[in-house]
Structure 1
Amino acid sequence: MTPAARALLPLILPALAVGVGSALLLVGVTVAADQLEKVLWEVLPDAVGLGRYSVAWMLIVLTGIGVLSGLVVWKVYGHAGPDPATSGLVEAPMDPRWVPGLLLAGGLTLAGGVSLGPENPIVASNVALAFWLGSRFAPARPGTLWVGLGVAGTVGALFGTPVAAALVLTETMAASRADTDPAPLWDRLFAPLIAAGAGSLTSSLLAHESFRTTLPDFGSPGWGDLLAAMVVASAAALLGLAGVYAFPYVHRVFHALPNPVLALTAGGVVLGLLGALGGRLTLFKGLDQMRELTSDPGAYAWGALLLMCLVKLVALVVAASAGFRGGRIFPAVFIGVALGLTAHALVPAVHPMVGTTCGVLGVLLATTRQGWLSLFTAAVLAPTTGVLPLLCVAVLPAWLLVTGRPQMQLTEDGRSVR
């Protein structure tokens, strides 16, 4: 056995532990949020005699979630972590004592119908816990190891595959260490891939959530498909950029209010009104709602689909600006799917598989600025690989539109990160 292999062997058990622990935290928060969601959106409206997704009930629940989230951000130790508008998917470890407040605020977001996903709070919590425990019980190991394991385990659990974690780490961590760490890339990814595999298996066995759709099968691509892919991906990127450019201005409006309770309550009211405008499918993180949309691509007219797409984009910007704790990947996927189905409804020659995957690709490129993650997420929507060559070409004009532009993330003083 080579010295390099002997150096990697001791990492296996810590990586497995972090991967399984990351998935268990994700599943635990998700299950708890699902139970609260049933109470808020089924038990209570039935008890008081209001429709489960009536305009009145949407306003009541989302305003109430705004109040509760504001109280958590204001009063709970650590204020539920930093302002989510200033945080990306992978950040430096936060104080582990902030984790309970962040998870509580993130759970309220998931249960209350806010248009944000679980990824940012769960990644931040798992990174904080992995870094704290790793530094305590194995202080000789570099802190970056525990950050990488926490990210990998959580991303693997979120997407149900270690491939997503490998791509994220290649883009956000491994490449940044290329000048300081001479080890081969796969040596640096060895332990994170174990954590990602353990996280994805644990999550798949316990939760069974998936981005896959039941869209009609797509065979071999043609020239018309190539043109449609590039047009839809570029249009989706431009739509995503519209939300990115609006982001700092909406953030400034909400943060002009003197207290997080006021800001999040106002955000909840706006989200309730948006839900009333766009309908129940524009609520929540968007994964189940995306699958419902794709189960019958012809169920909605193009106008209804475009309305849902635009409402979801505005809801994402409002939720992230007002201070609700959550991530932006899941709702961005819904936006892309709705835009792709709009293209199919307007031009039936655009295959729904091509429209939805390229729509997701473009919106994610604009909102996350992570090319590998965007390409992977779009590809995972397809049950077959026939659309993958189209995505690899469609990503190029879309990337030209977004590269060098502001990101959907702000500095501490409210300026857009580039």
Structure 2
Amino acid sequence: MLSRGYLSLLLRSAVLGVPVSVACFFFVAAQHKLQRWVWETLPDAVGYDGAPWWWPLPALLLAGLIVAPIVTRLPGGGGHIPVHGFGGGPPIGPRALPGVVLATLTTLPLGVVLGPEAPLMAVGSGLALLTLRWTGQVTDPRSTAVCAGAGSTAAISTILGGPVVAAVLVIEAAGLGGPRLVMVLLPCLVASAAGALVFTGFGHWTGLETGALSLPTVPADVNPDAGDFLWGLPAAALVAVVVALARGLGYRTLRWTGRHTAVRTVVCATAVGVCLTAYALITGRPPQEAALSGQAELGQLAAQPHDFPVAGLVVLVLCKGLAWGIALGSLRGGPVFPAVLLGAATAMACSGLPGLGVTPALALGMAAGSAAIMGLPLSSAVLTVLLMGDDAYNQMPLIIASAVVSFVVTQVVRGRESPRKDDGTS
């Protein structure tokens, strides 16, 4: 660790974190601005107060027509397949960058029920490798892999709550120990700290929004009691089942789109639009509540939980869960943000049970949803603790227990299923 090469690697990671984060900031800000244009500005321009119930149908059809040639013709196929999990697969190289950027900026704003986190990591690793190539600093494969990981971590650090979550993700996902862990972790920490600083500075300077996962407010402080644990842990298991079933649908969709990929991708995108339209028709609520990745809706759910009736939450889980499952195996984006919203909505639908409070339900739902899709219970617990803010201390035992229960139940539901075996592209 005191060798010249490693110290040079640390310096290189810190320097890489700055341009990568600048590019990723404008990338996420552009995606967020396009999203608002599609679902707010454009409906208003054509004479509607908001997006009408039928809005997802043409939007998702257009998304399918755009992403189909990206998946079938561009290098890298538009990025990782989201059903494989959080950042599943090897780092994205520079050749795949155009497909990832095009797929993200043109289809996520149209409401493909996926998040920006996985494409952001792909852009971070691709830009880091591209920078190394331009500067002629491509060294041995291990150093290159560490720099790619540092780029991904710098890109994802702020949108998931800062360098702390990114560091825990590296620790848990790497599955390493001892000095080897520290050697991998330090470059990622340096790059993510630089990335967080850049995101914060550019956010204040430009006034642009990035749509980071955050909760401006949470329900009134309530300490979990025996009733919250009595109902909360089964609710966490229910969240895990919902997420695992949706992911199973994603694997089946992936196999189905393995043949006649372009046509079937458009069919899947249209089916997602039908699910979102069904949500708007059944509930009378805006379709974007089910269509988008979930950051804004999660904040509304936390700030005004009583504005969402139990029946509406159930319909949201059913329609968004079905749409998300289809999108996981056919479209491009990140799987985590929608899973967090689905977990929160499922648990808060259970908060009407005697003894289960709204705040504990929100906390356990987010932890269970993220643990079920990421397979990283520690990272999920840390992410939820940061999201809960000042109330995190009181909810921490329930958060940790829910993340563990969700992780275990997910493994039981999935059994010995291997994501590689179900990859219709292999």
Structure 2 matches for 1:210-225, cutoff 5 A?
210-225=213-228
Note if contact 2:369-2:406 (Cα within 8 Å) is conserved in structure 1: no
User: What displacement does 1:146 show?
Assistant: 1.0
User: What displacement does 1:70 show?
Assistant: 1.7
User: What displacement does 1:341 show?
Assistant: 1.7
Note if contact 2:215-2:388 (Cα within 8 Å) is conserved in structure 1: yes
How far apart are the structure 2 equivalents of 1:250 and 1:226? 36
Structure 2 matches for 1:212-361, cutoff 5 A?
212-256=215-259, 258-260=260-262, 262-279=263-280, 280=287, 281-322=289-330, 324-344=331-351, 346-347=352-353, 349-361=355-367
Note if contact 1:33-1:111 (Cα within 8 Å) is conserved in structure 2: yes
User: What displacement does 1:22 show?
Assistant: 3.3
Note if contact 2:93-2:129 (Cα within 8 Å) is conserved in structure 1: no
How far apart are the structure 1 equivalents of 2:369 and 2:164? 21
Note if contact 1:337-1:356 (Cα within 8 Å) is conserved in structure 2: yes
* Superposed CA offset, 1:190-210 (max 9, x none): 221111111223223324634
Q: Tell me, what secondary structure is at the counterpart of 1:214?
A: coil
User: What displacement does 1:387 show?
Assistant: 0.3
Structure 2 matches for 1:60-139, cutoff 5 A?
60-81=58-79, 83-86=81-84, 88-134=86-132, 136-139=136-139
User: What displacement does 1:248 show?
Assistant: 2.0
Partner of 2:284: none
Q: Percent identity of the aligned residues?
A: 23
1:204 is aligned to 2:197: no
How far apart are the structure 2 equivalents of 1:52 and 1:75? 35
How far apart are the structure 2 equivalents of 1:107 and 1:13? 31
How far apart are the structure 2 equivalents of 1:13 and 1:87? 31
How far apart are the structure 2 equivalents of 1:292 and 1:36? 20
Q: Tell me, what secondary structure is at the counterpart of 2:307?
A: coil
How far apart are the structure 1 equivalents of 2:369 and 2:241? 8
User: What displacement does 1:84 show?
Assistant: 4.2
User: What displacement does 1:56 show?
Assistant: 2.7
User: What displacement does 1:366 show?
Assistant: 2.1
Partner of 1:364: 370
Structure 2 matches for 1:35-46, cutoff 5 A?
35-46=33-44
Partner of 1:395: 403
How far apart are the structure 1 equivalents of 2:397 and 2:169? 21
How far apart are the structure 1 equivalents of 2:78 and 2:114? 15
* Superposed CA offset, 1:131-166 (max 9, x none): 343363152572232132123212213213111111
Note if contact 2:222-2:357 (Cα within 8 Å) is conserved in structure 1: no
* Superposed CA offset, 1:343-367 (max 9, x none): 12x2263222211121122222222
How far apart are the structure 1 equivalents of 2:53 and 2:320? 16
Partner of 1:381: 387
How far apart are the structure 2 equivalents of 1:57 and 1:396? 39
The farther-off stretch of 149-158 and 8-17 is 8-17
Q: Tell me, what secondary structure is at the counterpart of 1:56?
A: coil
How far apart are the structure 1 equivalents of 2:403 and 2:20? 31
- The TM-score with structure 1 as length reference comes to 0.87
- The TM-score with structure 2 as length reference comes to 0.86
Count of residues paired in the alignment: 406
2:154 maps to a residue whose letter is: G
Partner of 1:410: 419
What is the alpha-carbon root mean square deviation over aligned residues? 2.8
User: What displacement does 1:189 show?
Assistant: 1.7
Note if contact 1:160-1:203 (Cα within 8 Å) is conserved in structure 2: no
* Superposed CA offset, 1:84-106 (max 9, x none): 44564153233312201111101
How far apart are the structure 2 equivalents of 1:161 and 1:341? 26
How far apart are the structure 2 equivalents of 1:220 and 1:50? 43
The farther-off stretch of 311-320 and 24-33 is 24-33
Match of 1:183 among 166, 179, 184: 179
Note if contact 2:240-2:406 (Cα within 8 Å) is conserved in structure 1: yes
How has the CA–CA distance of structure 1 residues 72 and 398 changed in structure 2, closer, same or farther, with 3 Å as cutoff? Answer: closer
How far apart are the structure 1 equivalents of 2:344 and 2:266? 29
Structure 2 matches for 1:122-161, cutoff 5 A?
122-134=120-132, 136-139=136-139, 142-161=143-162
How has the CA–CA distance of structure 1 residues 101 and 409 changed in structure 2, closer, same or farther, with 3 Å as cutoff? Answer: farther
How has the CA–CA distance of structure 1 residues 78 and 210 changed in structure 2, closer, same or farther, with 3 Å as cutoff? Answer: closer
How far apart are the structure 2 equivalents of 1:81 and 1:259? 15
Partner of 2:18: 20
Q: Tell me, what secondary structure is at the counterpart of 1:158?
A: coil
The farther-off stretch of 183-192 and 290-299 is 183-192
